[in-house]
């Protein structure tokens, strides 16, 4: 059985994108993260050290989101996934990056890139 910890809607104003105006003005981005890990040891001992502290994780992901700009959402998603997998307790992660204010030239609700990465 796979246990999951999910944080949805980590939001920030950031400067990712391929166009100059995206880098200059920036826009709103959001991230959803689903971690796969065994939470039984933490539950058995009521011990935070045996699970992922999702407050610390969220702060680290927010720092990446607002950090060095990249052209592609795919690159941003990979950086976020790598940060999650740096925690040895995390077996796999699913990252969804939202770019709801992208300019597509047509009405739309959201643009997302979702990736899943597992420890190899």
50 part of the active site: no
Contacts of 8 (CB under 8 A, 6+ apart): 32, 33
Pure H helices in the chain = 20-25, 40-45, 54-65, 73-85
The Cα 45–Cα 9 span in angstroms is 30
Q: Which of 15, 99, 117, 120 is catalytic?
A: 99
Q: Please list the active-site residues.
A: 99
């Amino acid at each position: 059985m796979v246990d999951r910890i999910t944080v949805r809607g980590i939001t920030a104003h950031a400067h990712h994108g391929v166009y100059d105006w995206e880098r200059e003005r920036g826009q709103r981005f959001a991230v959803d993260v689903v971690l796969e890990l065994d939470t039984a040891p933490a539950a058995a001992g009521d011990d935070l050290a045996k699970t992922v502290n999702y407050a610390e994780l969220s702060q680290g992901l927010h720092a990446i989101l607002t950090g060095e700009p990249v052209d592609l959402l795919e690159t941003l998603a990979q950086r976020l996934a790598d940060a999650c997998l740096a925690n040895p307790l995390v077996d796999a992660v699913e990252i969804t990056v939202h770019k709801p204010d992208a300019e597509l030239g047509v009405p739309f609700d959201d643009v997302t890139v979702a990736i899943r990465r597992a420890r190899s």
